Amino acid sequence: MMDQAALLRQKMQGQVQITCKTIAVVSGKGGVGKSNFTTNFSLALAELKQRVLIVDMDLGMGNIHILLGKTARNSLTNYLQGECSIQEIIHHDDENLDFIAGGSGMSSLLRWSDFMFERLIFAFNELQKNYDFILFDMGAGATEWSLQFIMSVDDVVVVSTTEPTSVTDAYSMMKYIHNKDQDKNFHLICNRAFSAEEGLNTLARLKTTMSRFLVKEVSELGVILEDIHVRKAINQQVPYKRLYPNCVASRAISEIAERYLYNDGTQTVQVVETNQFLSKLKGLFSKGRS
């Protein structure tokens, strides 16, 4: 398995002149918002004119296509098993945004073979030529194979909520990855925080722990507050960034995408707390008084 992961990394990084960046979205604890983050962050990058491919790595229990409100005739699982070509698993969502579904039917129980690894390598060698970013939504639970796969990407976005269990598991996940590859870039997201303070504290705690115990600097990418629009949008099967472009979560995602693209990670995180209309109104009000 180790050799195959090294081979995958080598091939993903070496063979073609690549400008494409690969990003794995991971968490320690499940259910913290990875799939929603991946979908909406990808949408935000696409709106910033980046060509983006989302790959649902939750093989057998994929839900990216559901969040996008699309059907997917063929999935990564079908491709890996040799049932269809790469072209047949790429589905178009919007300008600059494509996705590959993970498939359903609990195929995560499926055993990895050399044949599947070869097909995976071939697929991503080809796909990297067509995109600026490929985002892998890593799904719930760490398996030996998913942990190995994470070793092959450029950047790792770690999503955590503010709950101590989630934070501890996020740290354990980063520790595991860091022990295998000291050069991996980590970007932290705190999701579902109830206040800016709570979110920023969570990021700071993780950053300090990484620095103190592993002597590893990680970047604080952003905080997304708990937002009722997230669940409303999921129920409509439309990403919140698309259905409610001005809600708190959507504007946080836009800020995070811009920060990821244009900042070097040194600027402090600005948490989006109010809706745009209200903050503009407040701005007007304070100008009127000064």
Ligand X SMILES: Nc1ncnc2c1ncn2[C@@H]1O[C@H](COP(=O)(O)OP(=O)(O)OP(=O)(O)O)[C@@H](O)[C@H]1O
What's the gap between Cα 150 and its chain centre? Answer: 12
Smallest gap from Cβ 6 to ligand X, in A, equals 27
Smallest gap from Cβ 150 to Mg ion, in A, equals 15
Euclidean distance between CA atoms 157 and 145, whole angstroms = 18
| Closer CB to ligand X, 66 or 214, in the complex | 66
C-beta of residue 256 within 8 angstroms of C-beta of residue 272:
no
| Closer CB to ligand X, 46 or 249, in the complex | 249
Is 35 a binder of Mg ion (CB under 5 A)? yes
DSSP code, position 215? -
Q: Which segment (15-23, 29-37, 123-131, 212-220) binds Mg ion by CB under 5 A?
A: 29-37
Euclidean distance between CA atoms 241 and 235, whole angstroms = 14
| Closer CB to ligand X, 156 or 234, in the complex | 234
In three-state secondary structure terms, 271 is coil
Q: What pairing do the DSSP bridges indicate for beta strands 133-137 and 21-26?
A: parallel
| Closer CB to ligand X, 12 or 101, in the complex | 101
Torsion of CA 260, 262, 266, 268, to 10 degrees: -70
Euclidean distance between CA atoms 145 and 162, whole angstroms = 28
Smallest gap from Cβ 159 to ligand X, in A, equals 6
Q: Which residues bind ligand X (CB under 6 A)?
A: 27, 30-36, 58, 139-140, 191-192, 224, 226-227, 230-231, 234, 249
Q: Choose the contact partner of 230 out of ligand X, Mg ion, none; CB within 5 to 8 A by kind.
A: ligand X
Which parts of this chain interact with Mg ion (CB under 5 A)? 34-35
